[in-house]
Amino acid sequence: MQWNSAAEFFAMGGYGLYVWGAYAVTAVLVAVEAVTLVRRECAARSSRAQPEGKGRPR
């Protein structure tokens, strides 16, 4: 472990802006894609399950 404190970790040896700038944009864009896809999937599954009422239709 090379970090002595949380502040040192976030500073990244002076490269904090570059390292966290890269990771933040990656995290946000991947999260947006993942959440969009999962929500669309959940909406499709529930809208198909409802009209028939119970369980998987024939």
Nearer to another protein, 7 or 14 (CB): 14
What is the distance between the alpha carbons of residues 18 and 37, in angstroms, rounded to a whole number?
A: 29
DSSP conformational letter for 2: -
Find where tokens 């970090």 sit: 3
* Shorter beta-carbon distance to another protein: residue 1 or 7: 1
Site residues (vs another protein, CB under 8 A) = 1-3, 9, 12-15, 18-19, 21-23, 25-26, 29-30, 33-34, 37-38, 40-41, 44-45, 48-49, 55-58
What are the distances in angstroms from CA 47 to CA 6, 35, 51?
46, 18, 7
Kindly state the smallest distance separating residue 7's Cβ from another protein, in Å.
Answer: 14
